[in-house]
Amino acid sequence: MSGIYNIFLKWAPTDKSQTAAWGRHHLTFANRYEADEFYRLMQTVRHANLPLFPGLTRASPQFWCHSGLLWHSVHDVQALGLADDFRTTLSSVLINDGQVGGRTFDLIENAVTGPDWVSGGTFFVRNRRQTGLYWCVHGGWVHTSEEKRTKFRVELEEVPKGRKGDEMVLVREDRVVVSVVGEAYERELGERKYLGVEDFEGGRLQRKAPDPLF
């Protein structure tokens, strides 16, 4: 996936006067994969033994919030050398706030649609190059089809300690487990709870993908 991918990042501390005036950033990434990998960094990065982005949430794939001690944490994580892997794939700018004028509030023109790429989410899986071809379960096997499609659940194989699966956005290096959503079993497979693929275990297809499957 190539092209530019934009994020609005809002500082949302408990002090309501502060959240209304400060800490709005526009993040631009080389692609969505880089953006989600940066989000995973934000979930764990620490400085002086404190998390830089406590209370980090995703209202949508392109609207993130955090309740960190400082509004400029996204600047700090770069200035402190804690995000060097993104030095050539991330650009960030402080956008208009209530105290300082002259900063524009840009619109995101390439807003994405569809579900967020989080562990435990359900997706239709399609071919990246032939986007009309979808995965379809029929007769206990996974096929590709232009007419039919089956919904799959994609989950992390191992959830990091102290995290909930549905808090984890999926990134390229993850090992994932893919399973057919239950209603698809009933419709296509009856009582047979498995898929006819080379590696299967109770209907769960395990793979490590160089890029997200969906």
Residue-wise pLDDT for 171-194, tens only, equals: 999 999 998 886 544 444 444 444
Residue 15 has pLDDT above 90, yes or no: no
Provide the 8-state DSSP code for 48: T
Residue-wise pLDDT for 46-101, tens only, equals: 999 999 999 999 999 999 999 988 888 999 999 999 999 999 999 998 886 656 55
The H or E element containing residue 38 is helix 32-44
Q: Quote the mean pLDDT of the chain.
A: 80
CA distance 143 to 197: 10
- In the chain, where do the E strands start and end? 5-11, 24-29, 46-47, 50-51, 57-60, 63-66, 90-94, 121-124, 134-138, 141-145, 151-156, 175-180, 200-201, 204-208
The pair of three-digit structure tokens given for residue 59, joined into one six-digit string = 């209202």
CA distance 134 to 151: 10
The pair of three-digit structure tokens given for residue 172, joined into one six-digit string = 């390229």
Residue-wise pLDDT for 194-205, tens only, equals: 443 433 344 444
Cβ(25)–Cβ(93) under 8 Å?
A: yes
Of 71 and 105, which is predicted with more confidence? Answer: 71
Helices (H), the chain: 16-19, 32-44, 73-79, 182-184
- pLDDT at res. 14: 81
Residue-wise pLDDT for 31-42, tens only, equals: 999 999 999 999
CA distance 136 to 143: 5
- The stretch 207-212 carries a mean pLDDT of 41
Cβ(81)–Cβ(4) under 8 Å?
A: no
- The stretch 122-137 carries a mean pLDDT of 88
Residue 119 has pLDDT above 50, yes or no: yes
- pLDDT at res. 213: 41
